Structure 1
Amino acid sequence: MIKSEIQTSTYALNFGTLIGIVTVVFNLMLFFLDAHYQGGTLASIVPILISVGFINYGIFQYRKDNNGYVSISESLKVGVGAALMAGIIGTLYGLLLTEFLDPQFMDKTFEIAKQKMLEGNKELSIEDANNAIEVSKNFTTIPIRIAGGLLGSIFFGFFISLIGGLILKKSKPE
């Protein structure tokens, strides 16, 4: 009987899809509670914990299904692939949110940011705050948001899977 080799891509797709779906559900919950403008610690930490948990669980599951062995390169393939898949789903959700579900999202977010700038720095003039917002708007075009979302996901996935791979690494005996 020939045993088929397991593919890292299967784990990357499965766990990346899980990360994407769970994160989108969390963000939809924030949207329906009208809490998606505030950001805050919880809104930032929960998606990170979801990603870290599922990426490392994906690497662990791959190792388990690979007779207890996983290399760092296999860990990176699973982790970066999962992060890329999650990044695609998350970026698509972000575009759906800002273009269809809440087309005023960016304007409201910039207004909140301007208020925080003015409250945090009493010496800042309204004109300076408006200029800072105008510069920031240059970085919120759809192509830049797509590139930033995907590159950020890949970068994050690389470091998380590298750490997870170093912890879970177990080489096959020669």
Structure 2
Amino acid sequence: MEIQKTDSKGIIINYGVLLGILSVVLGVIMYVTNAYLNPSFYFSIVSFLIMVVVIVLGIRTYKIANQSYLSLTEALKLGLGIALVGGIIGAIWQLLLMMVIEPDYMMQMADMQREVMLERFPNMTDAQIDDAMAMNEKFSSPWIMMAIAIIGSLFFGFLISLVTGLIMKNKNPYEA
């Protein structure tokens, strides 16, 4: 008995776009509440939970459409695909925020980082703070931040899909 495999592209795109849209909505909420420069820990938790729910639902949808069969490889492929699409959409929002909506975003971020450094390390000299700020500036370009966001999305997508795949896997008895 041959079982037709479900095409994963549609599921990856649908759930990846859903993840991206929810990430953008959360980003807009952070912007409107003025939490975009120094977001609270709760925004990170909500963002992670959104990612978990969307990836698990995408993998579950695939498993149901595939007659309850799911391999770990398929789960990883789905989870990474969803995370990549969602990460790209989220990174585009971040780029739009930094370049169009808040063109002085990088300057605001640097000012905020300087204040945090002064609070945490009051004994630092101005030269030490300037050196630290110069180092931060090297890694704070919009393009590097966009790349880091996509890589982070892939990393967490891998972990989520690995755990989900290990829990949900069900080998097809008709496959060799």
Global fold match (TM > 0.5): yes
Contact map agreement 2:56 2:164 (CA 8 A) in 1: yes
Partner of 1:38: 38
Q: Name the structure 1 match of 2:138.
A: 138
Identity %: 34
Match of 2:107 in 1: 107
Aligned to 2:22: 22
- Which residue in the other structure is 2:150 paired with? 150
Superposed, which structure 2 residues align to 1:1-174 within 5 Å? 5-174=5-174
* In 2, Cα distance between equivalents of 1:5 and 1:169: 15
CA separation of 1:40 and 1:163: change in aligned 2, threshold 3 A: same
What is the root-mean-square deviation of aligned Cα atoms in Å? 1.7
Identify unmatched segments of 5+ residues in structure 2.
none
Give the aligned residue type for 1:124.
Answer: M
What TM-score do the two structures reach when normalised by structure 1?
Answer: 0.92
Q: Please state whether the residue corresponding to 1:37 is helix, strand or coil.
A: coil
> Structure 1 unaligned runs (5+)?
none
Structure 2 Cα separation of the partners of residues 72 and 5 of structure 1: 15
Matches of 2:130 and 2:146, distance apart in 1: 25
- Counterpart CA distance in 2 for 1:53 and 1:7 is 21
TM-score (normalised: structure 2): 0.91
Aligned length, in residue pairs:
173
Deviations 1:81-125 (A, max 9, x none): 000001110110010000000111121112111111111112212
Q: Residue by residue, what CA displacement relative to the aligned partner does 1:21-50 show, whole Å, maximum 9, x if unpaired?
A: 011011101112222122120121111110
Does the 8 Å CA contact 1:17/1:85 hold for their aligned counterparts? yes
Partner SS state of residue 36, structure 2: coil
How far apart are the structure 2 equivalents of 1:83 and 1:48?
A: 11
Q: Contact 1:118–1:126 at 8 Å: present in 2 too?
A: no
Q: Which moved more, 1:136-145 or 1:2-11?
A: 2-11
